[in-house]
Amino acid sequence: MDYYSSHISKLIEEFSKLPGIGAKSASRMAFHVINMPVEQAESLATAIVEAKKNVRYCKKCCTLTDGELCPICQSAKRNQKTIMVVEQTRDLAAYERTGKFDGVYHVLHGAISPMLGIGPNDIRLKELMERLRDDVDEVIIATNSSVEGEATAVYISKLIKPTGIKVSRIASGVPVGGDLEYIDEITLLRALEGRTEL
């Protein structure tokens, strides 16, 4: 038997599909929405749909952005010859918050994981190799220090080595299994400064 109206049940069902949202939170969120002024509910719904419609991958670095190229790839102030490779757009944001990295990024959108069946072709690696045909001085691999992140770093360095472009790996000041997103800025900067050539 359905205790709620079918609309509320549907809303709870949709919220419970979100990461980290259990049945309890989903129903709390659904009732919160029901009690919102209609303008606020519309604004929430529009924000979701507009983000989904308009956010796309930067043609160059593959980060999530609104235009063809993200603001970092477009910026004349950034050193386009130093590319930092990260797993997610969230990691890029973490380094941007330090304000100390003046190069550009490449977002892989994942890491190689044989256990999960994620291979080199499932992440944005081909796009990175294409970028290396331009004038690039250094590729800094800043994937997470998880097993997958390390495996990805080794794989990428082996691909790049033959091109003669300098490849380095951020220092392991970043705790094992650590998600870059949650690491403080000082640790991130130390990891960047202490990077070693591969």
Query: Which parts of this chain interact with Zn ion (CB under 5 A)?
Result: 58, 60-61, 70, 73
Instruction: In angstroms, give the least distance from the CB of 44 to Zn ion.
Output: 28
CB of 131 to Zn ion, least distance (A): 10
146 closest CA partner among 178, 170, 191: 178
> What is the nearest approach in angstroms of Zn ion to the Cβ of residue 105?
7
Shortest separation between residue 73's beta carbon and Zn ion, angstroms? 3
Q: Which is nearer to Zn ion, 72 or 191 (CB)?
A: 72
Q: CA angle 120-126-127, nearest 5°?
A: 135
As a whole number of angstroms, the distance between CA 141 and CA 139 comes to 6
d(CA 172, CA 83): 19
Looking at the Cβ atoms of 55 and 186, the one nearer to Zn ion is: 55
| 36/76 Cα distance (integer angstroms) | 44
Looking at the Cβ atoms of 60 and 195, the one nearer to Zn ion is 60
Q: Other C-beta atoms within 10 Å of 99: how many?
A: 9
Using the minimum distance from each CB to Zn ion, give the nearer residue, 11 or 73.
Answer: 73
